[in-house]
Amino acid sequence: MPPGEWDNGGMPEHSQDRIETVRVRRAPKISVFLIVGAVVGVFVAMILTFAFNGTAEASPNTGVEYSQGQVFGFLVLICAPIGIALAGILALVLDRRSRRRTHEIAVDHESVHVDPEPGTNGDGPGH
């Protein structure tokens, strides 16, 4: 092999090389925001549950006395979806803001197409 040549292992060369312009931006991961919103909602429910002692009397609406665990469960059912919704809205607002800060860069897009070896039908491993 002469100096300066590249050995491609006997593969036929079928490659395409082109320069493209793409937009790059930083975007928030919405799933992380939703998980954090749920955790904050559970934390708020815990604070509300233990911040107020409540009463030892039965509820005037249902006639049932609720334990602290039941009150915590009810508050989680209310606070967690509210936390998820608020965090989702925040993620969408930050996503909109990140669209304004896009950068256009030039990238080299190279595609290499490999022909199957003679005598094979191309359905071997990796096909």
pLDDT digits (tens, 9 = 90+) for 74-103: 999 999 999 999 999 999 999 988 888 888
Please say if the pLDDT value at position 127 is more than 60: no
**pLDDT for position 5:** 58
**Confidence bin at 35 (pLDDT 50/70/90):** very high
| CA 33 to the chain's CA centroid | 9
Please give the average per-residue pLDDT across 104-123, as a whole number: 71
Q: Say which DSSP state 126 is in.
A: T
* pLDDT of 19: 80
Contact 75, 41 (CB under 8 A): no
Q: Which of 112, 92, 86, 106 is nearest to 24 (CA)?
A: 106
d(CA 35, CA 84): 7
pLDDT at position 78, please? Answer: 97
